[in-house]
Amino acid sequence: MLNQRYPEVFSSDQEDYAEVQNVDSKNVHLIGSMEKWEAKLLEATRDGKIVIANFSASWSRPCKSMTPAYCELADKYTSMVFLAIDVDELAELSKSWDIKATPTFVFFKDGRQVDKLVGADKSDLQQKITAMDESHPFYASGWT
């Protein structure tokens, strides 16, 4: 892992990850453990909220380029839960969701995966989130 070879650049501490990725939103929750992942998914399911999980890597330029847009969307769509997962820190979780490239955005509703977006396409991410927004007419009719 890169953080073992370059600890001064790639720290395992989640605050450093947030700083490296420029995570600047109160609605983006950094996931540093399987327990926190499970707790956030359970909480969102219980509250009837949609979850958008951003699987990214601190060393990835496409991931870094998507972070500001992800944070902006998190601030706009506060009825949804936005998660940030470092694929190197939680390799087991990433593997369990078949994450093969970064960034990958996985969408959950009622605890189940309903969609997935691979790559750094801000427009596609915006469209998928807008489509899932509870106030959006498509969502109200059951379209996902």
Higher pLDDT, 25 or 88: 88
Owner of token pair 């109160």: 26
Whether residue 55 is predicted with pLDDT greater than 60 in this model: the reply is: yes
> What is the separation of C-alpha 93 from the centre of its chain, rounded to a whole number of angstroms?
12
User: Model pTM?
Assistant: 0.78
The pLDDT tens digits for 11-42 are 344 444 444 445 667 889 999 999 999 999 99
Owner of token pair 């956030």: 40
